[in-house]
Structure 1
């Protein structure tokens, strides 16, 4: 009789519900509490993001309803929270204003169109298994990019904190215009903003688990109802539509296509990088197997849900994911709990939200911006990796001085440049024996020999067009500067896994040059794939020696120490056996 396989196991292997199954009954209460915590902290936060994105307040709530449910059902990560995000919200406001006025009906429709376009891009990325693209946005560039976004977001809310209209383009001009008009500040608005900041910071310092933003929101709504804030010159949110979001297909006009594609591509890069990095971090924390490509489908479904419900792009949120994790949540059950609470708010509590004072949202968004300025990360980069600190600083500078879209492009380009620099500035060594007879690596220098007349040169990277010149130059330098003539150069190719066309041609030239000087060249421990490439290029030839490619340094030395390359060379027309 065959052993029974549980239905739960079958479900767990299905391409959906991976973030929910298998269900652990003992974990359920913790997940529910974590979901309530996420709702308490997340609702004010996503409402604040609408000030960044330039969309109605209710659209923030929509981002943690159907999009949250879509990812919970289809995504693979058990921890990742997918909702509104400050970085993508800032990209929308920084790019779509070229074709529509911020906050206009056309603009809001465009934000949904971008979400649908992002969903399509994510589907294409999944079809071609492009989850690896997340690796091309370095953590240092992402730190700089998000720091720049934080400066931009915080600077943009300074005017709202003191009851002034936002003026000026870019953080520097916005701060300058606030300083010029500071005498025109509304004192009641300023006092309320300061009170909210005190509540948020006080809760964070005295009771870190207390939902400071939620306390400020509830308290200010109650005060607004009692004291009629709008009559005292304090702006309020105004009517917030209740009920479920309407389903519709986002429109797209021919004159908007280019801007939509540019905006969507910028959001796509941030979503791929930030979501994958967050999901991987929490999967590693709990020793779970991540699946970037499955998460991409979940993100696509979440963005499609956002588009069809009239809201903007959603993204994997590191801050919300940490909120759930810190509250004890370990599965997507927590996120479904949050969605249920948001549904109740939309059905029964939108009228109180209409009394929410605008400076309260400004204060919440200002704090979000301040939190994004990663002083700790920048300081750590400066202390530990100065070149990557420069990358982060440049990415932040582009966001602050130009705009978010160019900031993300700069972050990607700088990440690729940093990768190329690391590949080019690789580590090379020569091997020699220590007094105990063991092989040790030394910096590349003449006369550091493995045996009389033999140098072993280790190249610790793939050979490609950017570093092949260094490979050739260093070997020739070892030959040229040797105090006594070398007979053999052995290349320890243990770390070489690929050779491109440029490197292959360089190897041919190097082999010919060493032949001319009467120096033989051999290699050790090359993987099969690279061995085939070398044989194709016929780059390494140890004429008359039975083994061109040796398994270890010791075998190579034993085979070559008594052989002269010139003496063992066959006639030019001889065929290799």
Structure 2
């Protein structure tokens, strides 16, 4: 065959590695399709549509946009994430946190609900898409690594309480308003005697029915049935005319495609840039927190950086279809989970149902009683409160329990976006606190002659003249002083004749410049006292750092640096024997 001739077509199937690479970019949250759970995914998608449609309609009141734009967030944006995201459970749509940030930024610039307001909203959604894509290029998905399981438990608990409190006025039929959960709860408690009996009875009956069905028929799609039954009854009995609040009429029709006017951002950049940046951070952190929580729950893979591509595509889709910024939603994700959904097939089903609704079924939705919806969403919020997990954390790790509790309280008091940042800071502080005072030890010989760990306070020696100190954390500027103090204390408490002080580096994966300077200073201090500073079991990278700092000379393996306890013991025994011979001579 000549070099310029085309290669013959191959009938061989794609290589498995190529298929995996393709799936990593497209449909990572859908493939492989599990036929055993596909029916449940479809039912979960129907349930999600029934619950999420009124919910996102409510979010438009926060965003200041027409009601139908809430439905648009569940169409193209949800489809875009289902295709390009990696999480199997994360649901993308309208979100209260990002809607509130957007509305606050736009309030001085335009009238809520106006055409100009919507132009700004679309431009901000597209700007968020660009920043999320840049975050993917910069591989900022690693920020999710700063959200520990403890923080996720606290975060979801706070979100759940926030959602549940937000539904109380509608569930009880109490006239209370406000976006702050604490303020709203206070209003509800002050006006508890003014509840509407019909609203309370309908919401209470729905809540009781859902709990009973959950207890006796956990796989039954109770929420979906409740929505359909309540809507049908409302249409037949005209509940809207009998002092029972219903969702109300909404505009139908598919969204029109249009490119946002980005010149608006250029004209009002100083006003909108902070809000766009804040929304991007919230989207990144909240979506990653939710994805990771459910990936851990079901031991399923997800990739934060691929999710950023899906989130960027979702916000670009929102901008092009005339709606506002979208985010990964903990409540909608919990809706899918509660209904038994386990893949993005549920979300594709939801998008299809919402499309049919905006085309043909906006009329029936108007009759859905708000108290029925409030009961369903209230229970979903309560499901996010992980009481058992909090009890387990408190019993097993009290310090981390307080991190979870503070995170939950921060969601309620200061808001989701600030709580996520605070949670990251608290996690880092807790980690630094443990690294600042690590639980170090000394290695001694037990009665059976084998090496074992003992508390530093014992100042035990491995053998006469030999002390082995094990440092249990990376050495860095924060714990360098602890290192210096413990070494000096151990040397001071040692019996006369100490000639070797060995630092076991088996648990040390890094030595920063400050810790390196501390080690060099300790080597000089010990040398003046006739004690040699040795090292045992360093990794290659740590040994390279010790050589770079001039603490050990290259090629000192077996002389100053030992690969094992056994090698160190043999070297010390040989040196002690030579010293004894020298003294005898």
- TM-score, with normalisation over the residues of structure 2? 0.85
Equivalent in the alignment of 2:12: 5
Which one of 34, 42, 54 corresponds to residue 35 of structure 1? 42
Give, in whole Å, the separation in 2 of the partners of 1:199 and 1:184: 24
2:244: which partner in 1? Answer: 234
C-alpha distance in structure 1 between counterparts of 2:111 and 2:429, whole Å: 37
Establish whether residue 47 from structure 1 lines up as the match of residue 54 from structure 2: yes
Q: Aligned equivalents of 2:121 and 2:208: distance in 1?
A: 33
Which residue in the other structure is 2:197 paired with? 187
Matched, 1:519 2:531: yes
Alignment pair present for 1:258 and 2:274: yes
Q: Is the 8 A contact 1:91 1:404 kept in 2?
A: no
Output the CA distance in 1 between the equivalents of 2:494 and 2:524.
19
**Aligned partners of 1:504, 1:134: CA distance in 2, in Å?**
31
Task: Give the structure 2 partner of residue 278 of structure 1.
Answer: 294
Residues 276-315 of structure 1: pairs in structure 2 closer than 5 A: 276-279=292-295, 282=298, 284=299, 290-309=302-321, 310-315=323-328
Shift of 1:98: 6.1
1:212 aligns with 2:193: no
2:4 maps to what in 1? none
What's the counterpart of residue 573 of structure 1?
none
How far apart are residue 245 of structure 1 and its match?
2.8
CA positional deviation for 1:500: 0.9
CA distance in 2, matches of 1:95, 1:485: 72
Name 2:184's counterpart in structure 1.
174
Instruction: Check conservation: 2:230, 2:372, Cα contact below 8 A.
Output: yes
Q: SS at 1:224's partner residue? A: helix
1:337 offset after TM fit, Å?
A: 3.6
| Matched residue, 1:80 | 89
Q: 2:376 aligns with which of 341, 364, 372?
A: 364
SS at the partner of 1:144? Answer: helix
Residues 517-556 of structure 1 mapped to structure 2, 5 A cutoff = 517-540=529-552, 547-556=559-568
Cα 1:17–1:427 change in 2 (3 A) is same
Matched residues in 1 for 2:210 and 2:72: separation?
A: 24
How far apart are the structure 2 equivalents of 1:326 and 1:181? 34
Aligned to 1:148: 158
Alignment partner of 2:515 out of 497, 503, 506? 503
Q: Distance in 1 between matches of 2:11 and 2:439?
A: 55
Say if 2:113 is the partner of 1:105.
yes
Is 1:429 matched up with 2:437?
no
2:366 aligned with 1:354, yes or no?
yes
Q: How many residues align?
A: 558
Structure 1 unaligned regions, length at least 5: 569-577
Secondary structure of the structure 2 residue equivalent to 1:442? strand
Task: Check 1:104–1:544 CA distance in 2 against 1; reply closer, same or farther (3 A cut).
Answer: closer
Q: Bigger shift: 213-222 or 3-12?
A: 3-12
Give runs of aligned pairs for residues 55-94 of structure 1, distance below 5 A. 58-77=68-87, 79-84=88-93, 88-90=95-97, 92-93=99-100
1:448 partner SS: coil
Which segment is superposed worse, 267-276 or 1-10? Answer: 1-10
The one of 439, 448, 452 equivalent to 2:464 is 452
SS class of match (1:235): coil
**1:317-345 CA distance string (max 9 Å, x none):** 5874794698475x544543443333223
Give the superposed CA RMSD: 3.5
Deviation of residue 392 (structure 1)?
Answer: 1.1
Q: Which moved more, 1:155-164 or 1:53-62?
A: 53-62
Separation (CA, whole Å) in 2 of partners of 1:268 and 1:298: 11
Partner of residue 575, structure 1 = none
**Distance between the aligned counterparts of 2:42 and 2:237, measured in 1?**
33
What is the deviation of 1:110?
6.4
Q: Does 1:560 align with 2:567?
A: no
Shift in alpha-carbon separation, 1:156–1:336, aligned structure 2, 3 A? closer
Q: Is the 8 A contact 2:160 2:331 kept in 1?
A: no
- Residues 94, 403 of structure 1: 8 Å contact kept: no
Cα separation, 2, equivalents of 1:8 and 1:244: 41
Partner of 1:19: 28
Residue 184 of structure 1, CA deviation: 3.2
Structure 1 residue 72, shift from structure 2 partner: 2.8
Which residue in 1 is equivalent to 2:5? none
Among 119, 134, 144, the alignment partner of 2:129 is 119
Quick one: structure 1 residues 110 and 46, their matched pair in 2 at CA, closer, same or farther if it must change by over 3 Å?
farther
**Is the Cα contact below 8 Å between 1:110 and 1:260 reproduced in 2?**
no
* TM-superposed deviation, 1:521: 0.4
Cα-to-partner distance string for 1:33-62 (whole Å, 9 max, x where unaligned): 422332224431453254356356544543
Q: Secondary structure at the match of 1:13?
A: helix
Paired position in structure 1 for 2:170: 160
Cα shift readout 1:411-439 (whole Å, capped 9, x = no counterpart): 11111111212222323121122233322
Q: Counterpart in 2 of 1:340? A: 352
How far, CA to CA, are the matches of 2:505 and 2:296 in structure 1? 32
- Matching residue of 2:493: 481
- Over 3 Å counting, the alpha-carbon distance change for 1:338 and 1:544 in structure 2 is closer
SS at match of 1:491: strand
Instruction: Tell me, in whole angstroms, the C-alpha distance in 1 between the residues paired with 2:307 and 2:153.
Output: 22
